[in-house]
Amino acid sequence: MVKAFSRRTALAAGASVTAGLAWPAAARAAQPGGVGFTLDAETLDGGEQITSVTLRTARIGPIDPASLTTGTFTVHARATSPIDTGGQDIGYDLDRPITAARLGHHGDIVLELGHAEGQTGGNTLGYVNGKSRNVRLDLVYTITQNTPVRLRNGRPVTLTRFTQGPLANPEADAFTHHTSRSGMKYRLYSPAAHHDRRPLILWLHGGGEGASLPDGYYDNETTLRANRGALGFATREAQSIFGGAHVVVPQCTSAWMDDGPRFAPLIDEILREVIRTRPVDARRVHVAGCSNGGYMSLKMTTVYPRTFASSVPICGVVAARKAGDPPLIPDAELAAISTPTWLVASRDDDTVDPQANTVHAHELIPRSELTLYDHVVRNGHQFPGHWSWIYVARNDPSTGGTHVWQWMARKHR
């Protein structure tokens, strides 16, 4: 299993890092110059990365910001897999470039780290090819102070011990952990308390974000860290469009396509649980998902035709997985879908054939919408063609001047 980051201790001055319990608060206070630090993460379009490190230095006194440079500290990162990868190296062991050193709002030192889409060394997840799974890497960060910092009174300070604390990703941390009665884990975002009932958005992840039970790996985390699919609906922009919405994110115990008919009632159980325990408007329950989850989004609307106000399947699969197999969703079932449906894919998807799956489904689902991109590009970076969920996570698809989130928000069952 993934080990808690608070169980890693990093020593300064180039000393080795040892595994063990984090220093208790009282013990840290007794260590001359000892401070804890937080790994600050963001989920980019291509996955979560550590973008900065915050040193909890406020208690040592007001620091002169002029004494901070990009060379004051060195940040070293080591990442290893929490499960057997069959020999594949998915980790790294390197120095992270520091692009800026500044004081945070509370007087803590913040070390900004170089990061970018597709850049190795900042990622918190690794993809195990043999298992078709993303896993959350065990991260060990070592901080070394190279030159003293000065307090505002001019006194130089050299910190002697750095203790690694938790990973902090405010967007992911806004989702709470839950487990259904049947044992399926899920994450839940709920808007600020309201007197009236709010819509609910069900996000169904791709195959790489499921569990790997033979390895004991079922983290209920990867679904929020591998891409912005679920997080997009919890942003201020989306919440404003939906008037406040609950976002529920189940994590499959394997892959949705392995046994969609069995997983459908388990997902429905989670929906019923959330509707029962939260102020949800049952007329405005929406489903969206990517890849494996795109298939499962369509499957849910065939099994539960009266549940969803809208459905947004992204690069999903409906065709047979291999020659001679029956289609995952037969044409008759697609033609019978009554849920308002908006399908999304990219023409250069070389993982799921968009013509045999997305376009074919669009041709059969009555009154469905379709957005086909040529490539998946954002901020000048071209992603694999399969990653068209990036566009939905950013509310990009549109038709007749209406974007996909606004289209969803207007639908009622």
Residues 135, 122: one domain?
yes
Range of the structural domain that residue 104 is part of: 5-168
Of 108, 139, 168, the domain-final residue: 168
The answer on 398 and 254 residing in a single domain is yes
* pLDDT tens per residue across span 125-135: 999 999 999 99
Mean pLDDT, to the nearest integer, of 259-269?
Answer: 98
Q: Are both 222 and 235 inside the same structural domain?
A: yes
Check whether 324 has a pLDDT greater than 50.
yes
Domain co-membership, 265 together with 182: yes
The tally of domains found in the chain comes to: 2
Q: Under a CB-based contact definition with an 8 Å cutoff, are residues 43 and 121 in contact?
A: no
Question: Same domain, yes or no, for 405 and 362?
Answer: yes
pLDDT band at 6; cut points 50, 70, 90: very low
Please check whether residues 81 and 201 belong to one and the same domain: no
Secondary structure class of 151 (helix, strand, coil)? strand
- Distance in angstroms between the alpha carbons of the first and the last residue of the chain: 41
Same domain for 295 and 215, yes or no, is: yes
pLDDT computed for residue 193 by the predictor: 78
Are residue 294 and residue 251 in the same domain, yes or no?
yes
Q: Give the percent of the chain with pLDDT over 90.
A: 88
* Reported pTM: 0.90
Separation between Cα atoms, residue 203 and residue 154, nearest integer Å: 53
Q: What is the CATH number of the domain that holds 405?
A: 3.40.50.1820
Residue 145's alpha-carbon distances to 69, 107, 161, 280, in angstroms, are 11, 18, 9, 51
SS3 assignment, position 7:
helix
pLDDT in tens, 99-127: 999 999 899 999 999 999 999 999 999 99
Instruction: Kindly state the helix (H) or strand (E) to which residue 337 belongs, with its residue range.
Output: none
Indicate whether 212 and 141 sit together in one domain: no
If one compares 32 and 328, the residue with the highest pLDDT of the two is 328
11 and 156: one domain?
A: yes
Of the residues 145, 168, 191, the one at which a domain ends: 168
Q: Each residue of 64-89: pLDDT tens digit? A: 999 999 999 999 999 999 999 999 99
Helix (H, G, I), strand (E, B) or coil at 240: helix
Cα distances (Å, whole numbers) of residue 134 to 126, 158, 211, 257, 334: 5, 39, 9, 17, 31
For residues 162 and 177, membership in a common domain is answered with no
Of 142, 168, 194, the position where a domain reaches its end is 168
Query: Residue 351 contacts by C-beta under 8 Å, 6 or more apart in sequence?
Result: 291, 315, 384, 385, 386
User: Which residues, other chains included, contact 205 with Cβ-Cβ below 8 Å and sequence gap of 6+?
Assistant: 222, 223, 226, 229, 230, 249, 251, 252, 289, 290, 292, 293
CATH code for the domain in which residue 88 is found: 2.60.40.2180
Do 88 and 215 lie in one domain? The reply is: no
How far apart are the C-alpha atoms of 94 and 210, rounded to whole Å? 29
How many residues belong to the chain?
413
